[in-house]
Structure 1
Amino acid sequence: MVGARRLRVAAVALGAVGGGFSALYALLSEQGRRARLAIGVPEAPPPRADGVYTPAHLHGIRPSLRFAVVGDSMAAGLGVDREDELPGVLMARGLAEEADRPVRLTTYAISGSTTNDLPAQVDRVLQDPPDVALVIIGANDVTTRVSIGTAVTVLATEVRRLRLAGIGVVVGTCPDLGAIRPIAQPLRSVARSWSLRLAKEQKTAVEQAGGVAVPLADLLSPEFLARPGDLFSADRFHPNAAGYDAAAAILLAPLCSVAGVWHGGPLPEWPQRSALAEARRPTTRIVAWLNRKHRQQK
């Protein structure tokens, strides 16, 4: 009889816990639905501006450096209005200035892609291998609930494929989805935790596969949290032109390094969030170039 009573108590307790999980799941599902409505569906894909970008003062005739952009909507540049605001264009121009040679940009990134879509993109890249590739991926893995294990395994495999082809690889890891204001709490905290866990695992996997990982969440999240109105586009999910400038400022140096054209000295270890200001300190020619571009646009 004592055993039966304990079983009944346990059943009631499990039912209460199960009911709590059901209620939480229903709440998170409803918040996800509302966030999707608030963010909306993009009216059009981002502009494309593939082609050759030449430094302002080219010294002599030099062969083009080939640069590929792979990944999701952040890699493709969703959220900007003009071609010259695209992250690929910003970085192609920065690479050209640092290398003192033309850079041929080819964009393979597709909005909405998850890591599971990378193999098809990499297949296209390997048909005409570039010198360097930038990969930005992960946000859609979180929003579509791709398991972290699956996402990391696929990413590592594709980075190895690119490296075996002699391509220098830089990966911008998953951004911090906790900075996305249309996502209500507690779903925003769940998304933040998941995205940061994914980013951490991505960094380890990319480095083991021979690529260079840039922790976008660590380096950009404080700024996006502090100035969401300045750095997010109208959908409040994708960066705007200023947001992509901020990302380009931290991605250009490692891109130049893996391309073998970096002349700014040894790259430091990536700092923690508390050292964000030091990380963005304008001491390199690349960041100075971005500052000049801003002044010219004003």
Structure 2
Amino acid sequence: MTHTPLRLALLGDSLAHGSGAAGPQDALGPRLAAALTGAGYDVDLSVLAVPGAVSRDLATQVRRAAPLGPDLAVVVVGANDLARLVPPAQAAAALGRALQELRAAGTDVVVVPAPDMSTVPWVPPALRPLVQAASAQLQRAQAAVAHSAGAMVAAVSEAVTAAFGTDPALFSADRFHPSSAGYAHIAQALVPHVVAAAHARRDAAAA
């Protein structure tokens, strides 16, 4: 397969940054870059995500991405919006603005909606149904603005939630962020979406 230079950027929060991973190569960005390399791409990876970021913080990250001219951006955001009780419409609107800027600059985008926070160990069992409902509400709002902006949505929450809800080893020692094993599971779910986005961009350029 012909090697195609691909500038990949990860934007968002601690999940995109890799907090909780045992080493840098265990984080989400390097795992996705390795999968793309295996699919035949020369990958230039930039991780612009910031731990603790909420959706409104994407604006700053998009500005930092602009000089890099990313071909493909993976945006992982929403966990902190849920934790800080940011209204779903407000969080989704901020995401939508960031996506519009990325798309206007010619960047293809894969959006990873908020995780189901009800699986986090410190969430009391009695509150899990409410947290699950809030997570689903934000996920739907994020998917809507992503589709409107022409971004791809990686709807992996169900598969990831099932694993994280039954295997404590997927969480790091802080019982909030994924462990290296957790990132491996998330990356496995995301790889088909990210590779498909890269292929679609390559095919469009060749057409």
What TM-score does the superposition give when structure 2 sets the normalisation length? 0.91
CA deviation map 1:120-162 (0-9, x unaligned): 1011111221110000000100111111111111111111111
Matched, 1:79 2:20: yes
Give the counterpart of 1:230 among 162, 169, 190.
169
Residue in 1 that maps onto 2:75:
135
Q: Any idea what the Cα deviations from partners look like across 1:180-203, whole Å, max 9, x if unmatched?
A: 111213333322221111011111
1:69 aligns with 2:10: yes
Confirm or deny: 8 A CA contact 1:178 1:191 kept in the other structure.
yes
Pairing of 1:5-44 with structure 2 (within 5 A): none
Aligned length: 202
Partner of residue 105, structure 1: 45
SS of 1:171's partner is: strand
Which deviations, in whole Å up to 9, do the C-alpha atoms of 1:251-290 show, x marking residues without a partner? 1122122222699xxxxxxxxxxxxxxxxxxxxxxxxxxx
- Checking the alignment, whether the CA contact within 8 Å between 2:58 and 2:95 is kept in structure 1 is yes
Gap runs ≥5 in structure 2: 203-207
Which one of 227, 242, 250 corresponds to residue 181 of structure 2? 242
1:149 aligns with 2:89: yes
Per-residue CA deviations over 1:227-263 (Å, capped at 9, x if unaligned) read 1x22111111111111111111121122122222699
Contact kept, 8 Å, 1:75 with 1:135, in 2: the verdict is: yes
Q: Structure 1 residues 85 and 181, CA, compared in 2 at 3 Å: closer, same or farther?
A: same
Question: Matches of 1:221 and 1:147 in 2, distance apart?
Answer: 22
Q: Which amino acid in 1 is paired with 2:69? A: P
Q: Where do 5+ consecutive residues of structure 1 fail to align?
A: 1-58, 264-298
Write the mapping of 1:1-298 to structure 2, written as runs, cut at 5 A: 62=3, 64-98=5-39, 100-227=40-167, 229-260=168-199
Q: Is the 8 A contact 2:82 2:134 kept in 1?
A: yes
Q: Choose between structure 1 and 2 for higher RCO, CA contacts under 8 A separated by at least 6 residues.
A: 2
Cα distance in 1 for partners of 2:108, 2:161 equals 26
**Native 8 Å contact 1:196 1:217 kept in 2:** no
Q: Cα RMSD over matched residues?
A: 1.8
Local SS of the residue matching 1:64: strand
Secondary structure of the equivalent of 1:226? coil
SS of residue paired to 2:19: coil
Letter of the 1:144 partner, please give it: R
Deviations 1:29-86 (A, max 9, x none): xxxxxxxxxxxxxxxxxxxxxxxxxxxxxx78x5531100000001101111112101
User: Alignment partner of 1:260: what SS?
Assistant: helix
